[in-house]
Amino acid sequence: MIAIAVHGGAGHWAEDERADAEEGVRAAAAAGWDLMAVGGSALDAVTVAVAALEDDPLFNAGTGAVLNAEGAAELDASVMRGDTLASGGVTCIRRVRNPILVARRVMESTDCVLLAGEHALAFAREQGFGDFDPVTPRRLARWAAAKAKQQGDALVPGTVGAVALDGDGRLAAATSTGGRELKRPGRVGDSPIPGAGNYASARAAVSATGWGEFMMRTATAKAIATRIENGESPASAAQAVLEEMAARFAARIGVICLDAQGEIGIVHGTEGMPHAWRSSRDGGVLARFSA
């Protein structure tokens, strides 16, 4: 059994962006699937899938990430492998093309879980990741409009992510984001924090998208994983946690999750969340804008 699910961020998507968003997540899921189909690991699959979304300027991660109050792209990302609980992340990193690749290097080449800001960037340069400006004209124009109003769009889709199960039964999760539009410089969201927006264990993998401050307070990804580990289906576990968060915070959250049997759960509380998935039970990659 192998399986993969990918999301492109829960929130408000313009009507003319929805078809492209579906195609983007479909391509990302296919890239991860193709790796596992020839024996690649779940870790490789989620890394490749998220990197593909970071390279697509439509999504709020890597190239095309939203801009903070200073007009800079400050990026967060993390990756986690369920068989060892190894995790690596970067936060508030600037001028890299693929923060998810730097996050994986943190996991594999250091004794750290999370590197931040200028020190994360220095590590990236030490590891050979070159200078790259992720700010696109589209995001710059939207930032200028939001700055004029002194109010970012709270519904801008916030994150991309992937979860996967490989042929050896290993689970992994990866998540990447530009965060919230007009955020305070130095703001850290849920995406780089194990258990908040990203988590994987031997029996569950979770990637979340939405308002990070709420997910950090409730350890959203870990809460969903624990329910799955206790026997709930991925969809039921995600739905229960999202309902709790909606009741407590009125939080807009989206989740993809996966168990060790390859069952996939995709739940969101926003008007849309482009997502795609494939498992050994399916004939091909399936993609949707909404549930």
CB 213 within 8 A of CB 187: no
Joined together, the tokens standing for residue 154 give: 């709270």
CB 56 within 8 A of CB 34: no
Nearest to 209 by CA among 262, 267, 166: 267
Strand order in the sheet with 253-259: 198-200, 204-210, 253-259, 264-268
Half-sphere exposure of 29 (CA within 13 A, CB side): 28
CB 61 within 8 A of CB 75: yes
Task: For residue 265, give the H/E element and its range.
Answer: strand 264-268
Q: What are phi and psi of 33, to 5 degrees?
A: -60, -45
Residues involved in catalysis:
159
CB 198 within 8 A of CB 191: yes
Q: What are phi and psi of 244, to 5 degrees?
A: -60, -40
